[in-house]
Amino acid sequence: MDDPGTGTVSAGTAGLSVRPESSGAVSRPESSGAGAASRPESSGAVSRPGSDVTALKGQRKFQRSWKTKFPWIIYDLEKDAVLCDTCVSAEKQELLSSAGKKEQTYLTLGYKDWRHALANFTRHETSGTHRLAIEQLAASGSKDNPTMVMAAVGKAKEQADARHALRHIFDAVSFLSGQGLPLRRRQEETGHFRRYLAKVAQRDDVLKRWLEKRDHSQQTFTSPELQKAIQRQLSLAVTRGLAEEAARAEFYSIIVDETTDVTQKEQLSICVRFVTDDLDIHELFMGLYETSSTTAEALFNLIKDALVRFQLPLSKLRGQCFDGAANMAGAFSVQSRLKALEPRALFVHCTAHRLNLVVQDTLDGVREVRDPIHEVAKLVTFYRDSPKRQVNLRDAGASTALRPLCPTRWTCREGCLASIIENYVALGDSLEAIADDSSSRSTVASTASGFARLLREFRFFFGVRLAHHVLRLTTPAMRSVQGQSQSLSDNLGLIESLHAAVSGQRDKYDQFWEATVSQAETLGVDEPRNVRQSRPPRRLDDGVPPDHPSTPRDAYRRVYLEVVDRLLVSLDTRYTGGDQQRLLQAETALLTGDAAGVARAAAFFGLEADRAVLHCQMLQDICRQRGVQLASLQDVVTVLRDATVRAILPDSLTYVKLLLTPPATSCSAERSFSLLRRLKTYLRSALIQERLCQAAVLASYPERLDKLDMEEEMRRFVAETPQRTSAFGRW
């Protein structure tokens, strides 16, 4: 503080250097040693009569406490400004000649913006000029200001150790985030982050000393806030790379799906699909976004805002893939609003979702199949709700555990029905044992008795086996259509093959019946018998005798054929119409060399029709010369993977990109839902949306995290605040 009685500036233990009133150069008291600049006595105060550090009331002024944190500063009383003692000494000895840009503020002019003094002092301390001055003075062995140089060298060593520790901190956050693991637990010391650092510190003395020192410091740089900041930094780097990769593509499509998390909040998953010049297909998960409303307008605005943030213009949008919900696929839905802005953004209803609806329409529409499936769900729940019953089932000879019945994914039910059929005998014995056990509660015993009686009925066994037969037909197709590299034409080809396979099942009822009856006898199921037919009311009886099947075989034939026919009809109705016809017509024109069809497709997509037709004809000629028959779009892709062919047929390349860019399924978005359930659990339900999105992106791309330039990310992170810059320096 100022001493108004004596008019002096007290420098404390560090000492303050001052400028005399009459000289523009830095002047110091005389000291021994030729050629060396003088320094004030370390234990005394520098005093200049009439040169007190004064300020008007309410104004800021120089503070002597700054000297403790920044020992290189010297205060010029005449200019009421601060200079850098280290830089002045180096400049005096002409050691800064290699500096690109010298900071004249700290050499001659003086710094006097006291409002931002600390931040500016920190910036100068880590600047290239200041570090060069320290290095040059230390290398030259200069005796000018040796204490200052030694302190600066010590500071540089401290910052180097801090950067070494910071690299381990970045590695810890990167590894744990890439694995989808929480950084902290209820107790900070037992969290994954601290345990990771402690494990590394056992083999790294520098990190160990730094952590021990930081444990007794106010700025630990291992706090939860810093962990979040690093996670945000890495997430931004990964997202920036994803957006830049998608922006380089000529066209792109979006894949969007929604779900609810463990806290019942709506989460929107957004993915981007694009095709590279090598005709490689990429589908990138871009993040999870919370929405309070699921109306078409709200979702449309959210998607549009996300595309703006990713710097993906709507003019390059060529496809959109959603489920069939009214807010996504209806007349006034998200897809129609996007089409209003970009008519070439073709909408595709997810082919995997449609196949799931096909199976649901089939099995839910036939009573003889629907009822057994619902009974199976109750039976599985009966066992899975009690560990004791599961042990009882294993003791009865069950070879595998009962699989749960997925309530929404119908094509995922094959495993559940297969486990029921495989453990049929063991289930019957277990249920009888539970029903006869005197220690069982009456409700449990009666339920077990009812299930045991149900398992003996042929009607139930036939329904389970028929449902399993249908799922065995459709599940392979469901698994195939979910591939990321699948195009729309590929998936529609799979559906066409499935349709042909199902059609062939109409003539195979006798084979199915014989196998079912034979297996029923082996499992101890009752013999099939006709269902009792009720007479129609007299007011509805027209006198014509009703057609009742005479044998159980004929009765169950009707059920079998009804299931097969419903499956065929649903395949026909679910996979027709929409924008997919435009894509199929464009593909057919390319494969057959139809000039008119290619011209229409080129005109729609904004290509030059004449060039597109010419390049299509040239492609046909090249394929004929090479003996390649173009039977599918994949054949065209194989030909265009040749760099020489792509070079002479750029319009054909663009044409094929347009056919491959629209997504076939929304499975990439649905896969992120599994990640969401793993990240936001009941124990982490308080995870805020920003951190959830960051954690989801990092956990989706651990390989991209490994490829990041961590040194560059560390530099960006340190440069964000003066405190970090002071602790870690610049490099």
Question: Average pLDDT for residues 688-700, to the nearest whole number?
Answer: 94
For residue 674, pLDDT beyond 60: yes
Bridge partner list, 271:
255, 285
Q: What is the pLDDT of residue 726?
A: 80
Q: Please, are residues 75 and 18 in contact by the beta-carbon 8 Å criterion?
A: yes
Integer Cα distance of 708 and 716 in angstroms = 13
Question: Average pLDDT for residues 265-269, to the nearest whole number?
Answer: 95
Q: What is the pLDDT of residue 6?
A: 39
Q: What is the pLDDT of residue 56?
A: 57
Q: Give Cβ neighbours of residue 218 (< 8 Å, ≥ 6 apart).
A: none
**Cβ atoms within 10 Å of 639's Cβ, excluding its own:** 18
Banded model confidence at residue 550, pLDDT cuts 50, 70, 90: confident
Mean pLDDT of the chain: 86
Closest listed residue to residue 483, CA positions, set 659, 635, 664? 664
Banded model confidence at residue 146, pLDDT cuts 50, 70, 90: low
Question: Average pLDDT for residues 588-592, to the nearest whole number?
Answer: 94
Banded model confidence at residue 5, pLDDT cuts 50, 70, 90: very low
Q: Please, are residues 377 and 404 in contact by the beta-carbon 8 Å criterion?
A: no
- For the stretch 81-132, pLDDT in tens is 999 988 888 888 888 877 777 888 888 889 989 988 988 998 888 788 887 8
**Cβ atoms within 10 Å of 198's Cβ, excluding its own:** 13
Question: Any idea what the Cα angle at residue 200 is, between residues 198 and 204, rounded to 5°?
Answer: 110
Q: What is the pLDDT of residue 544?
A: 63
For residue 60, pLDDT beyond 90: no
Does 214 or 36 have the greater pLDDT score? 214
Q: Please, are residues 455 and 463 in contact by the beta-carbon 8 Å criterion?
A: no
- CA 165, 170, 175, 177: dihedral to nearest 10 degrees? 140
The DSSP code for 106 is I
Banded model confidence at residue 324, pLDDT cuts 50, 70, 90: confident
Integer Cα distance of 254 and 273 in angstroms = 6
Q: What is the pLDDT of residue 54?
A: 55
Does 6 or 372 have the greater pLDDT score? 372
Lowest mean pLDDT among 21-35, 69-83, 161-175, 278-292: 21-35
Q: What is the CATH number of domain 254-349+673-699?
A: 3.30.420.10
Lowest mean pLDDT among 150-159, 547-556, 557-566, 671-680: 150-159
Integer Cα distance of 675 and 697 in angstroms = 10
- Using DSSP's 3-state secondary structure scheme, residue 218 falls into coil
3-state secondary structure 500-541: HHHHHHHHHHHHHHHHHHHHHHHHCCCCCCCCCCCCCCHHHC
Bridge partner list, 84:
73
CA distances from 232 to 239, 244, 302, 703 (A): 10, 18, 21, 17
Integer Cα distance of 673 and 267 in angstroms = 9
Closest listed residue to residue 383, CA positions, set 394, 370, 374? 394
Counting every residue, how long is the chain?
Answer: 731
CA distances from 718 to 72, 151, 222, 491, 728 (A): 22, 22, 14, 49, 7
Question: Average pLDDT for residues 7-27, to the nearest whole number?
Answer: 37
Closest listed residue to residue 654, CA positions, set 351, 344, 272, 339? 344
Q: Give Cβ neighbours of residue 111 (< 8 Å, ≥ 6 apart).
A: 81, 82, 83, 105, 117, 120, 121
424: left (phi over 0), alpha (psi -120 to 50) or beta: alpha
Q: What is the pLDDT of residue 354?
A: 94
Closest listed residue to residue 281, CA positions, set 53, 54, 489? 489
Integer Cα distance of 570 and 363 in angstroms = 11
Tell me what percent of the residues of the chain surpass a pLDDT of 70. Answer: 88
Amino acid at 539: R
Gap between the terminal Cα atoms of the chain: 36
- CA 98, 123, 217, 196: dihedral to nearest 10 degrees? -70
Structure tokens at 470: 């249908």
Which backbone phi and psi does 275 adopt, to 5 degrees?
Answer: -125, 130
Banded model confidence at residue 267, pLDDT cuts 50, 70, 90: very high
Integer Cα distance of 235 and 701 in angstroms = 10
Q: What is the DSSP string of 14-50?
A: T---B--SS-SS------SSTTPPP---TTS----TT
- For the stretch 621-652, pLDDT in tens is 999 999 999 999 999 999 999 999 999 999 99
CA distances from 402 to 392, 398, 451, 464, 624 (A): 13, 9, 15, 14, 56
Give residue for tokens 């050691």: 95
Ordered by start, the domain boundaries in the chain are 2-144, 148-222+701-731, 254-349+673-699, 356-530+550-574, 583-660
Radius of gyration of the chain (CA): 38
- CA 299, 304, 307, 312: dihedral to nearest 10 degrees? 140
Integer Cα distance of 606 and 599 in angstroms = 10
- For the stretch 162-188, pLDDT in tens is 999 999 999 999 999 999 999 988 777
Q: Give Cβ neighbours of residue 512 (< 8 Å, ≥ 6 apart).
A: 466, 469, 560
